[in-house]
Structure 1
Amino acid sequence: MHRTEQHQRRLIPPGLLPWQYGILGFAAGILGLRFPFPACLSLIFIFLLCRASSLKMRARVAVAACFLVGLGWAVAVLPVPPDSPPQWMLDRKTAVVQGRVDHVETRPGGVLRVFLGEARYSLVDGQQGEIPGLLLWNWHFPRTRPHAGQEVQVRMRVRPVRGYANDGGWDTVFHWQRQGVFYRGWTHGAKGAPELSGPPPGMLERWREAMRLAVSGDVVAYEARTTNPSDSLRTDGHGRALLAALVLGDRLLLDENLYAAVQDAALGHSLALSGLHLGFAATMGFALAWLLGWIRPALYLRCPRLKLGVLLAIPFALFYLWLGGASPSLVRAAVMLFSWGVMLWLDRERPLLDGLFAAVALILLVSPLSLFDIRLQLSVVAVAGISILGPILWRMISKVRLPGEQRIAGTESDSKDAIRMRLSKWVSVLVGSVIRSTLGVLAVSTAATLALLPLSVWYFGQVALGLWTNAVWLPVLGLFAIPAGLAGALLSTLPGVSWLGQGLLALDAALLEACAQGVLALGEAGWFPVLTPMRPLWPQILGTYALVLSLLVVLRTRHRAAWGGVLLAVGLLIWPWAQREFTDADEAVSLTLLDVGQGQSVLVEAPGGHRVLIDGGGAWSKSFDVGKAVVTPQVAWGRLPQLDLVVLTHPDQDHYRGLLHPLRRCTVKRFAHNGRWVSGEEGAELREILRDRGIPVEVWRAGMRHELAPGVALEVLHPDDPERYADNNDGSLVLRLTWNGRGLALIPGDVEAPGLDELLTSDAGLTAEVLVLPHHGAADALSPELYKRCKPRFALAAAGFLNHLGFPHPEVCATLARRGVPVFDTGKCGQLRLVWTDAHLPPAVLPCLPGQIE
């Protein structure tokens, strides 16, 4: 074989082993529990790879058997949800809940997730019963910290698990179902009178708690906390909170603004305990192996340095696993590290990839549903990317000749000053090592980021472009922050040397405080650009990974079956684009009422791909951005994040807060409102976003007509002047969507009785096939005359699931029912999409949640 071709083959990662194809088949079978069609396509793709690798038919039969076993195992272990929630939950009654703490998780912003097993409830009227599965208790700004095994009693409302049900969005129900959680509740501070009882923690638990308090600083004692968030979070900066998050995975005291800044800086992966942190802890074992070898080189004759490092890394890894509370992600990382160590001891040619497959096999056999855990998905794909792309990038880096190395090579023999030559050599070697180490970190980060790109865009809807930060941040963590934090935590609990541990932790916290301030300052200065691309559909995610693997097999085997995999992958990538092009070319109009909780957001699509967003919803709490979590992902799902027009009907927070993020991250051509501006800091923020993005602002008044596409328009029916109304609601824009003069939908915002009275006295055409109920279907917007003038086929209500306001009001629903008009609300049906494909046929109603519309 020609030398160049041999070199190119060495750059190509080796192929998979037969048993590894079986693991892929087993994983595809588990995937079939929720995604049958993608799982079957994955199986076909695995068959093509098997054929390209010249595996016999019995190997392919074994892969198919693994697929069926995986599917059956996943079905068998999936927790079965209760048939229906009890009536007292639907009636929003408050109950006294008792249960035993199963485990506890921390969230940024002062939130504890307490999982209660054997939960029971009792009501004021004496009714009692059991709550099936685990009960998730979200405790905001807790006054103490429960530990596993304790008994808890707390008074709160319990409700079924339900998130924002939108097509292509996060499936909250399944996320918690696979963990055995069907119900959850919330309390804040001392509200609900939480009481903890039970046996005191054991010696090891007390020791771990002492280390946790030493790391976090215990500046604000839990028992002294109030229900005021400003009194509950730290006042001594971010260093200690960041140290606790990095060393212990305790994110309770982590400021949400800092957390968001770290994510924008492409460093969010470092704040969740994972293989990265366990690897840093294990590195201390390898460092100890190097030190022992330096002291006694003959030791390597009995045990090679790499294998000695594996042995010495085990105690450090186990200690960190225990200190981190043995969380599921940390346990899975420990399994991966152990598998990798075993492959090293067996002298495998590719220990990282083989160890990854062995770890995945063990994890899925024990817990098949963990395949749907985003943390496992990201970890496995990142390690796979590093093992496949990392060596290629490193070989490219190793060929780079650094300037210092070239200078030494040319001057070493000519130098007459031996001391200067030696110093110059040491400096050059040091600089070259730093540069190469930095390039190595960037290579690893780049390999992992490229591998994670499809999943990251799908889950998070954005791509942080500041990869360079990892070249600075990861060495700080690995060389000092985490080792010093672990050593400080241990020393601070030992008699006689606690002062040394506290000093080490204080130094570590000071370093991290400087890093946190730097991240915040650079973020404010715009050093961390964030891209909001199109969120891929599942064929594009599967097609991307299939294409990469197929091309690698083609380069290695040149087999025709591998080209079949390439064609299948290309077809998956093209399919959504072709489908979208046909959809845009169709003469069809759609209206989507998004599920944004207790708020309202409407997305209108017209022929030619023209799109309009009317309102964006908005949570009552500023800590949750519904625009980032729901609206922008929906705008970018399967399409470029572009909007022809954004309309704000009126300046209420449940309509405008969800617009800030899409206006900041999407391409928007125009912004329209009713003339009343949002007040306070959020109004200033909205004005700043529009100015910085160069988005033209328009004020709409009754009588205007705005064409979205040929024949499709929005008519403005109300108001003439919103300032005439004391309430923001009555000045809401009332819009009518028309298609060639046919009234499709009436969207009246939050207009109430005074505004409706003026609207009904006008001569505006109100007929529409769909009525989005004014003010979410509230009783103060009940108007039989409006229903008579509109003559809708359907009525839609934007309402949160089991919302405390009781929207839509039963009297509104009853009045419409007497007219033969069904009412569908997002609280029950999730997202509601209506599609008009013909100028004469009624629209098709497509709810996100099945079984809600007959």
Structure 2
Amino acid sequence: MAGEQVQATRPWPGAVNMALTLLAGIAVVQWLPALPPEWVMGVLVVCATILAWRLPRFRRLAPLLFGFAWATWRGGSAMDARLPRAWEGQDFQVIGHVVDLAQVKAGATSVLLEIERASLAGRAVSWQGRARISWYSKPSAEPEPCSRWQLRLRLRRPRGVVNPGGTDSERSALARGIAAVGYVREDPRNQRLGVATWCLDRLRGSLADGIQARVHDPHDAALLRSFTVGDTRGLEQQDWIVARANGISHLLAISGFHVGVAALFGLWLCHALYWLWPSLALRYPRMQAQALSALALASAYGALAGLGMSTVRTMLMIGSFALARCSRRAKGSSHALATALMAILLMNPTAVLEAGFWLSFVGVAFLILCMDAKGRGLRGFLCELTLGQLVMTVSLLPLTMWFFGEASLVGALSNLVAVPFVSFVIVPCALFGTLLLIVWPPLASPVLRVAEWLTHAQWWLLEQAAPWPGAHWYLPTVTPWALVLAMLGAVWLFAPRGVPLRMLGVFLFLPLLWPVRRLPAEGGFQAWTLDVGQGLAMIVRTRHHTLVYDAGPRFPSEYDSGAAVVVPSLYALGMDRLDVLMISHGDNDHAGGAAAVAAAFPMARRFSGEPARSRVPMELCQAGQQWEWDEVRFRVLSPVARVPKAPANDDSCVLLVEGRAGRLLLTGDIAASTERRIADSLRPGPGLVLQVPHHGSKSSSSAGFIAATGPELAVVSSGWRNRFGHPHPAVMQRYAAAGVPVFNTAVDGAVQIDFPAATPAYVAARWRRMERRYWRE
């Protein structure tokens, strides 16, 4: 019996290895620029089967091959499910239902719509899928979760911007199963067809509205909605800045810790029932009943919270423990985590494309690595709340920098206070108030009022810590080899006692913390035309100085290119200082993001061709201004003087950057009338790269201007399928006739141009080609 007991409690030795091998096979696929053909998947599955069945010595390779084939098939299926390219930009009549909660912001209401039927030009088409759609006018009725709609939509395939340090919306769309994006067109047939009687997301929305109505302070209400039902719609950009500064973003998005608290409550509830009615143990074993009770409440709360990655991971781990307990087989934490990992990978292998997947599983893996030896019960719990915060902060630093380009050095201290207070005080109080909203609404108000006071106090503390040094720590883009070394260093550093020289693991973080930066030599410079859609934003860097020319658009929906593209790109490229911010003129597609850039770099000197239209104080930009940085000369060529009733575009600052072996001409939105004067002011010099005026509009880039400037390369910044038709075909023909190659950010993503101090004149690279992935088009 003793031997049988030992055998029964021994964890399955292959679970962790199988999970890691499966993960490796799936992760490799995500680095491919294109997916292999279908026959390759068939061969891999056959090989995996042979290895697992007939070749025990190589059996461990079977999950690797199967994972590669599985991820390839699912990735290819997701790409094939996208809206066909031939149908892009056309109007569809669709019937579908709303998924999740609507995002309501100034100027737009956005929802996920599961399209059930679609017709094009009056004919039904065999296409279904999930689409992210927006109303730019007020909807005829509230788009509640699970409501069915008949709508006229203008749709296109998911496509995002590609920049250094920027987010990848195409990757996110693939991970979330979004097959199209678009907007609602005005049509008298647009209408809501009905609302499902029972819908979990509708219950979430109802509870969120109930909290909002009973909490006086709108900001505190938004935080409570986030803590309880995972509704982050009411949080502002500043809230996320504070959360990232304190490293507590995971708490706002319903952390796995919250689900664990719900499971613990289920366990205590079951324990109380057996204490009140001991005779229950004669019918149902108490240990198994407690396990199922914990799983039931964790699952209920996880579903109510929106089934985020950390939520699902915790539910699966609790489910693994519950299954082991019900089958009377003891399983360790590592086995439960491995089981949860395999379950998620088999359900959705594209989950590895999301940052939450890696942060969730890697964070828990490090906790298991460090905390399992600290004991169980109260001692282990206290260690997890104290030492565990330091472990999480250090171990997740490489991944945080990889995905977000920033980390918080005060996160361990903030989490030391916030995690226990939010998880064991605020969340239980708020959840109790939420439960009362369902069973007895009048009693919910005082309970939610107490939760409001607690939340307000907690957030005040976090706001005080947000400005501390190190709260926002930025590093240049992390290279894959630096990430791998830093993760190995974290494993070495937090390895169990007995592993020799553990502190040497710190040195493996050095390539991450002090990356090699490739700076231009004296007399050379670098330039990036960022991909900001229909707008313009450029970065020019000499050896010791940086200039930003225009900052892209800002939209009523609060999307700001300055904050979302320009500032992250500067940090990703290793520029933590900005010397000059030059905004060509006041149009939103050039000046919209200026305020965000100025706020991030308040010491930068600021110029504009139209300072009166700027949201931040600017100096007037005018011809004759010049300076020199690191043997690179900067000259302002325009505007000369304000001409009455002249188009605002002709007030654009025109800047010439002259290095030893190459020149760059930045033109803003000037038209043909100003182009002649600019061409006359140019002196002979080395090869010229031209920023195409006015995004390639028909009224610019005259044949005479192209001939007079003689560019070796032209770069146009425009939006994918933009409504203006930029760049105009006639303009492209003029450049082609002059033998000038044209790079377009809408097609190529960000364009990087290096101007060395000696020949060749320039070296150009296109980021959509440099960073090719199978989900980018």
Determine if the TM-score, normalized by the shorter chain, exceeds 0.5: yes
Give the alignment partner of residue 389 of structure 2, picking from 445, 455, 460.
445
Q: CA deviation at 1:119?
A: 4.4
Query: CA separation in 2, counterparts of 1:789 and 1:282?
Result: 73
User: Equivalent residue for 1:98?
Assistant: 94
**Secondary structure, aligned partner of 2:526:** strand
User: Equivalent residue for 2:130?
Assistant: 134
| Structure 1: tracts of 5 or more residues without a match | 1-14, 38-57, 222-233, 400-435, 688-697
User: Equivalent residue for 2:775?
Assistant: none
Query: CA separation in 1, counterparts of 2:737 and 2:16?
Result: 62
Query: CA separation in 1, counterparts of 2:598 and 2:675?
Result: 30
Q: Does residue 774 in structure 1 map to residue 679 in structure 2?
A: no
- Name the CA shift for 1:86/1:819 in 2 (closer, same or farther; >3 Å): farther
Query: CA separation in 2, counterparts of 1:834 and 1:670?
Result: 23
User: Equivalent residue for 1:164?
Assistant: 161
Q: Does residue 594 in structure 1 map to residue 527 in structure 2?
A: no
Q: Does residue 677 in structure 1 map to residue 611 in structure 2?
A: yes
**CA deviation map 1:587-624 (0-9, x unaligned):** 86432211011221122344x46543322222233611
**Secondary structure, aligned partner of 1:238:** helix
Query: CA separation in 2, counterparts of 1:621 and 1:317?
Result: 38
User: Equivalent residue for 2:482?
Assistant: 540
Q: Is the 8 A contact 1:746 1:768 kept in 2?
A: no
**Secondary structure, aligned partner of 2:232:** coil
State the Cα RMSD in Å: 4.6
- When normalised by structure 2's length, the TM-score is 0.80
- Name the CA shift for 1:238/1:642 in 2 (closer, same or farther; >3 Å): closer
User: Equivalent residue for 1:339?
Assistant: 320
Query: CA separation in 1, counterparts of 2:702 and 2:161?
Result: 29
User: Equivalent residue for 1:636?
Assistant: 571
User: Equivalent residue for 2:405?
Assistant: 461
Q: Is the 8 A contact 2:101 2:111 kept in 1?
A: yes
Give the alignment partner of residue 120 of structure 1, picking from 115, 118, 121.
118
Query: CA separation in 2, counterparts of 1:297 and 1:201?
Result: 42
Q: CA deviation at 1:633?
A: 2.2
**Secondary structure, aligned partner of 1:240:** helix
Query: CA separation in 1, counterparts of 2:273 and 2:210?
Result: 34
User: What is the correspondence of 1:27-46 to structure 2 with a 5 Å cutoff?
Assistant: 27-35=23-31
* Deviation larger for 209-218 or 340-349: 340-349
Query: CA separation in 1, counterparts of 2:116 and 2:296?
Result: 35
Identity percentage of aligned residues: 24
Give the alignment partner of residue 812 of structure 1, picking from 731, 735, 744.
731
- Name the CA shift for 1:239/1:838 in 2 (closer, same or farther; >3 Å): closer
Q: CA deviation at 1:521?
A: 6.3
Q: Is the 8 A contact 2:367 2:384 kept in 1?
A: no
Q: CA deviation at 1:670?
A: 4.5
Query: CA separation in 2, counterparts of 1:544 and 1:374?
Result: 17
- Name the CA shift for 1:257/1:520 in 2 (closer, same or farther; >3 Å): farther
- Name the CA shift for 1:638/1:16 in 2 (closer, same or farther; >3 Å): farther
Q: CA deviation at 1:24?
A: 1.6
Q: Is the 8 A contact 1:343 1:355 kept in 2?
A: no
- Name the CA shift for 1:591/1:557 in 2 (closer, same or farther; >3 Å): same
Q: Is the 8 A contact 1:146 1:196 kept in 2?
A: no
User: Equivalent residue for 2:667?
Assistant: 748
Query: CA separation in 2, counterparts of 1:445 and 1:552?
Result: 13
User: Equivalent residue for 1:790?
Assistant: 709
Q: Is the 8 A contact 1:108 1:253 kept in 2?
A: no
- Name the CA shift for 1:566/1:260 in 2 (closer, same or farther; >3 Å): closer
Q: Is the 8 A contact 1:767 1:792 kept in 2?
A: no
Q: Does residue 367 in structure 1 map to residue 348 in structure 2?
A: yes
Q: Is the 8 A contact 1:82 1:132 kept in 2?
A: no
Q: Is the 8 A contact 2:224 2:455 kept in 1?
A: yes
- Name the CA shift for 1:766/1:218 in 2 (closer, same or farther; >3 Å): farther
Query: CA separation in 2, counterparts of 1:374 and 1:309?
Result: 33
Q: Is the 8 A contact 1:736 1:743 kept in 2?
A: no
**CA deviation map 1:446-500 (0-9, x unaligned):** 3222222222223223224553443444344333433344333344334xx4433
User: Equivalent residue for 1:20?
Assistant: 16
Q: Is the 8 A contact 2:583 2:609 kept in 1?
A: no
Q: Is the 8 A contact 1:767 1:791 kept in 2?
A: no
Query: CA separation in 1, counterparts of 2:323 and 2:369?
Result: 20
Query: CA separation in 2, counterparts of 1:852 and 1:381?
Result: 25
**Secondary structure, aligned partner of 2:637:** strand
User: Equivalent residue for 1:201?
Assistant: 196
Q: Does residue 738 in structure 1 map to residue 671 in structure 2?
A: no
Q: CA deviation at 1:30?
A: 0.8
Query: CA separation in 1, counterparts of 2:345 and 2:522?
Result: 44
User: What is the correspondence of 1:22-101 to structure 2 with a 5 Å cutoff?
Assistant: 22-35=18-31, 61-78=58-75, 79=77, 81-82=79-80, 92-93=89-90, 95-101=91-97
**CA deviation map 1:92-114 (0-9, x unaligned):** 44x24313337325557485431
Amino acid at match of 2:656: R
Q: CA deviation at 1:442?
A: 4.3
| Structure 2: tracts of 5 or more residues without a match | 1-10, 34-54, 773-777
Query: CA separation in 1, counterparts of 2:204 and 2:604?
Result: 55
Q: Is the 8 A contact 1:599 1:617 kept in 2?
A: yes
- Name the CA shift for 1:620/1:209 in 2 (closer, same or farther; >3 Å): closer
Q: Is the 8 A contact 1:599 1:619 kept in 2?
A: no
User: What is the correspondence of 1:822-833 to structure 2 with a 5 Å cutoff?
Assistant: 822-833=741-752
Amino acid at match of 2:537: S
Give the alignment partner of residue 173 of structure 1, picking from 163, 166, 170.
170
Query: CA separation in 1, counterparts of 2:527 and 2:697?
Result: 22
Q: Is the 8 A contact 1:106 1:251 kept in 2?
A: no
User: Equivalent residue for 2:361?
Assistant: 380
Query: CA separation in 2, counterparts of 1:257 and 1:550?
Result: 37
Q: Does residue 319 in structure 1 map to residue 300 in structure 2?
A: yes
Q: CA deviation at 1:27?
A: 0.9
Query: CA separation in 1, counterparts of 2:409 and 2:565?
Result: 22
User: What is the correspondence of 1:213-292 to structure 2 with a 5 Å cutoff?
Assistant: 213-217=206-210, 237-288=218-269, 291=272
Query: CA separation in 2, counterparts of 1:763 and 1:325?
Result: 60
- Name the CA shift for 1:380/1:763 in 2 (closer, same or farther; >3 Å): closer
Q: CA deviation at 1:838?
A: 7.4
- Name the CA shift for 1:528/1:262 in 2 (closer, same or farther; >3 Å): farther
- Name the CA shift for 1:804/1:642 in 2 (closer, same or farther; >3 Å): same
Amino acid at match of 1:647: M
Query: CA separation in 2, counterparts of 1:393 and 1:781?
Result: 70
Q: Is the 8 A contact 1:211 1:493 kept in 2?
A: no
User: Equivalent residue for 1:474?
Assistant: 419
User: Equivalent residue for 2:433?
Assistant: 488
Query: CA separation in 2, counterparts of 1:326 and 1:576?
Result: 34
User: What is the correspondence of 1:751-766 to structure 2 with a 5 Å cutoff?
Assistant: 751-762=670-681, 764=683
**Secondary structure, aligned partner of 1:811:** helix
Q: CA deviation at 1:790?
A: 0.7
Q: CA deviation at 1:163?
A: 0.8
User: Equivalent residue for 2:41?
Assistant: none
Equivalent pairs counted in the alignment come to 735
User: Equivalent residue for 1:6?
Assistant: none
User: Equivalent residue for 2:636?
Assistant: 716
**Secondary structure, aligned partner of 1:458:** helix
Query: CA separation in 1, counterparts of 2:398 and 2:188?
Result: 43
- Name the CA shift for 1:440/1:482 in 2 (closer, same or farther; >3 Å): same
Q: Is the 8 A contact 1:100 1:116 kept in 2?
A: yes
Q: CA deviation at 1:33?
A: 0.6
Amino acid at match of 1:201: A
- Name the CA shift for 1:813/1:851 in 2 (closer, same or farther; >3 Å): farther
**CA deviation map 1:408-433 (0-9, x unaligned):** xxxxxxxxxxxxxxxxxxxxxxxxxx
- Name the CA shift for 1:103/1:578 in 2 (closer, same or farther; >3 Å): closer
Amino acid at match of 1:631: V
Query: CA separation in 1, counterparts of 2:522 and 2:72?
Result: 40
**Secondary structure, aligned partner of 1:807:** coil
Q: Is the 8 A contact 1:336 1:359 kept in 2?
A: yes
- Name the CA shift for 1:181/1:821 in 2 (closer, same or farther; >3 Å): same
Query: CA separation in 2, counterparts of 1:585 and 1:61?
Result: 52
Amino acid at match of 1:355: A
